[in-house]
Structure 1
Amino acid sequence: MQNNTIDSQGAIAYYIDFSLQEIPNISDIAYGTGGIIYTDSEKTYRTIKKEYPTLNVMYLDTIGKIRENMLSTCVKVIVYPDYHIRYFKDLKYIKHVQVFHGPNDKKYNYIKEVLEYDLFFIPGYDAYERYKKQDLLKRGTGMLIGYPKLDRVFRGELDRDYELIKMGLDPSKKTILYAPTWHDRALNSSWKSFRNVFVVNIPANLNVIVKPHPNISRYMEKQLNEFRKRLLCSPNTRLFENSPDTVPLMAASDLLIGDVSGITREYLAFKRPFVFLSNKPRLLWSKKKTRLWNCGEVVTKTYKVWEAVERSLENPDRYMDQIEQFFKTTFYKPDGGAAERARDAIFDLINDSC
């Protein structure tokens, strides 16, 4: 990483709301830049203090108080893992950086609001071409850096068996990770239709890890409470509701069951098989949103899930050509250095404004 003389503890700020899943998108960058992570969510504050104890996090209960503190500490750059510039864009002499909201194919990533940022990071060529096609690179503020959240994967720092043993699961068994997105207005999630598959007739020769989107616990608490009671009756299952970091869960698994969540793109880094769950006929899906479904079997009926899992585990290379192709276009320079490139770009932005 380049040398710099910036007092980064005061110069750089991060803002995260209640969306716990966004913490790993900026944590590795923040380790290198220093600075304060601001939040107006007590849960986010507690989570960062517990799971990222060396990061500097500050809880203030209103956006107004956060703004005042940023001004008093002479913040020069605010980094966001989501579209929250609207709270701070009127603050004078402050630059704004956006870290992508996961490498998925949802329209949410590719909206005109990215043009309001002085710099926004792009994880790979696929996303770059989509930004370009939608004329979102016209200001020259989009920058290919790779995917910081997965740097440790590309550096080979995670071990499957070790992660399973930490969870108290048998590493000799194949392990399935089910990670649905939340049940939003677009009805993207498989959770409502398929969740009971993972508490009924689970094959005895498998471990099952379930990682629901944090918004499922936020907006569907009753369903999740019922699911938890049933799931935890089985000794070979684990439920991770609140941990923001999904990377160790992916590393521990041999197959991902997903839908259109960003974790499906992230799982490409492991080059392991997929099974995709569709809560409606595929013809009703946007082709752009489901392009990754070419990397595995697509299941539309609950009773067919475990059959598809068995076939995919028996022949893990069946879709490997497609997985390799998507891997190459999803991740720019998968060398473990994306966070460093992001840090250097942030420091350059500060230096250029001085």
Structure 2
Amino acid sequence: MACQIEQVKGIGVLPGHRISFVDHLVPLCQIMGIPLLCTDPWVFEAIGLYYPPMELILDEAPDFCLDQSLKEYNTLFYVTFSRQPHGSFQFLEYHSNKKLRSVYSLHGNSDKKRNIFWAERFADEDIVLLYGDHMIDFIKEKGVLDRIPHRIVTGNYRLEFYRQNKPFFDQFSFFPKDDRKTILYAPTWSSDNLRSAWKCDYSSFFEAHHALFSSIPEDYRLIVKLHPHLIYESADEIEKVKARYSDSDQLFFLGDIPPIFPILEHVDIYLGDYSSIGYDFLAFNRPLFFLNMSERDPESDKGVHLFRCGEVIDPNQLENVYQIIEGTDSSQFEKARKESYAYAFGEKSSDFTGLRQEVEAALQS
């Protein structure tokens, strides 16, 4: 049984070069008014540059043990499964032997990983933060919901964090802007092991990039945001693709920029596959298009629930992708976009004070 805490002294833990975790854990730590421990100098500097000021701690931990930096704290906050059944913590390659309370939050809302062992690990956690009914229904189907000791529904706290700090984020211009319409292409990542279970949600990038990059209409600009894991898995191949189109002024690759909503604010059209950024983009109720490389059925396959919110493009339609984008009346999906956003995140803005109070109450129970 977890111990009660009279006064919460929490800290966020962000291990390694996991840049995709940043935009989920930084807002949570700032909402809770707690510091964030990083182990990677680049991540440490990126947070200091791209987010409002907060207390940051850098511990490169040559022995991969974080106990020294965590000795003054009684609660850990993180966004990847870390709590072990025996009470210690495994933060990917880092670890801690301290037996503390913990708060786990998702790093994105998506339809991925429905058919593999993943959500079952919620049962090992202490306090779990869930965005809304979409994820609640998913873990209920997995038979895990009632096994979570404490669960708290947060709403879209990342969006509300962006809105409250918009003047800070507005100082950045993450990509060139002009009169052309902006399409954001944000493919997910996939393992290089094609027989892996991850193949069920694999990236469209390597099959689709030629059709997407070689025929961009004059009145469009294509912004490409690759998943950091995809870059890590296939760095050499991606560099060759980028070099091939380096002379194009219509194609722009975003670097390792953690904030998501300041980018989406300036995007007209979303193009993706299984990335959680698609769910983020629902907040703006703008057109979405999906590359359905596995030809899955949005009506029957819960693993592509988001595809109901936009036009679905099958592999045999890739050569006509821009004609499809230009010829689609996306207003027909407006109702589905609104309903899916409410299903994923709820209809009300996230209440920071209420969230802090719920977390503190759970820790004191």
User: How high is the TM-score relative to the length of structure 2?
Assistant: 0.82
Counterpart Cα distance in 2 of 1:284 and 1:347: 39
Contact 2:187 2:204 in 1 (8 A): yes
The alignment of Structure 1 onto Structure 2 pairs a total of residues equal to 340
Deviates more, 1:85-94 or 1:98-107: 85-94
Residue in structure 1 matched with residue 321 of structure 2 by the alignment: 305
1:157 Cα shift?
A: 4.4
Contact 1:29 1:342 in 2 (8 A): no
Residue in structure 2 matched with residue 21 of structure 1 by the alignment: 20
CA 1:76–1:349: 2 relative to 1, 3 Å: farther
Contact 2:67 2:98 in 1 (8 A): no
**SS of alignment partner, residue 83 of structure 1:** coil
Q: Deviations over 1:82-115 (max 9, x none)?
A: 1122462774551011111211112379522112
Deviating 4+ runs (over 4 angstroms)? 5-8, 89-93, 152-158, 162-166, 283-286
**SS of alignment partner, residue 294 of structure 2:** coil
**SS of alignment partner, residue 360 of structure 2:** helix
Contact 1:177 1:249 in 2 (8 A): no
User: How high is the TM-score relative to the length of structure 1?
Assistant: 0.85
Counterpart Cα distance in 2 of 1:208 and 1:92: 47
Contact 1:190 1:259 in 2 (8 A): yes
Percent identity between the two aligned chains = 20
Counterpart Cα distance in 1 of 2:161 and 2:35: 23
Contact 1:275 1:308 in 2 (8 A): no
Contact 2:186 2:277 in 1 (8 A): yes
Q: Kindly report the root-mean-square deviation, in angstroms, between the aligned alpha carbons of the 2 structures.
A: 3.1
1:38 Cα shift?
A: 2.2
Contact 1:208 1:236 in 2 (8 A): yes
- Which residue of 109, 116, 122 corresponds with 1:114? 122
Residue in structure 2 matched with residue 104 of structure 1 by the alignment: 110
Q: Deviations over 1:137-174 (max 9, x none)?
A: 2144121111221114666948x9x799663310x321
- Give unmatched runs, 5+ long, in structure 2: 1-5, 91-95
**SS of alignment partner, residue 202 of structure 1:** coil
Map 1:148-163 to 2 at 5 A.
Answer: 148-152=157-161, 157=166
CA 1:64–1:168: 2 relative to 1, 3 Å: closer
Residue in structure 2 matched with residue 255 of structure 1 by the alignment: 269
- Give unmatched runs, 5+ long, in structure 1: none
Residue in structure 1 matched with residue 42 of structure 2 by the alignment: 43
- Which residue of 220, 224, 237 corresponds with 1:210? 224
CA 1:43–1:157: 2 relative to 1, 3 Å: closer
CA 1:248–1:227: 2 relative to 1, 3 Å: farther
1:47 Cα shift?
A: 2.2
Map 1:2-81 to 2 at 5 A.
Answer: 6=7, 8=9, 11-52=10-51, 54-55=53-54, 56-62=56-62, 64-71=64-71, 73=72, 75-81=73-79
Map 1:268-347 to 2 at 5 A.
Answer: 268-282=282-296, 287-301=301-315, 302-312=318-328, 315-337=329-351, 339-347=352-360
Counterpart Cα distance in 1 of 2:173 and 2:126: 44
CA 1:154–1:48: 2 relative to 1, 3 Å: closer
Residue in structure 2 matched with residue 242 of structure 1 by the alignment: 256
Letter in 1 for 2:302: K
Contact 1:163 1:249 in 2 (8 A): no
Which has the larger share of helix? 1
Residue in structure 2 matched with residue 180 of structure 1 by the alignment: 187
1:42 Cα shift?
A: 3.6
Counterpart Cα distance in 1 of 2:46 and 2:8: 26
**SS of alignment partner, residue 257 of structure 2:** coil
Residue in structure 2 matched with residue 141 of structure 1 by the alignment: 150
Counterpart Cα distance in 1 of 2:207 and 2:249: 24
Q: Deviations over 1:187-244 (max 9, x none)?
A: 3111110122332121110121110001121111112212222344222332113111
Counterpart Cα distance in 2 of 1:216 and 1:286: 28
**SS of alignment partner, residue 178 of structure 1:** strand
1:300 Cα shift?
A: 2.1
CA 1:322–1:110: 2 relative to 1, 3 Å: farther
**SS of alignment partner, residue 332 of structure 2:** coil
Deviates more, 1:128-137 or 1:140-149: 128-137
Counterpart Cα distance in 1 of 2:237 and 2:43: 23
**SS of alignment partner, residue 146 of structure 2:** coil
Residue in structure 2 matched with residue 348 of structure 1 by the alignment: 361
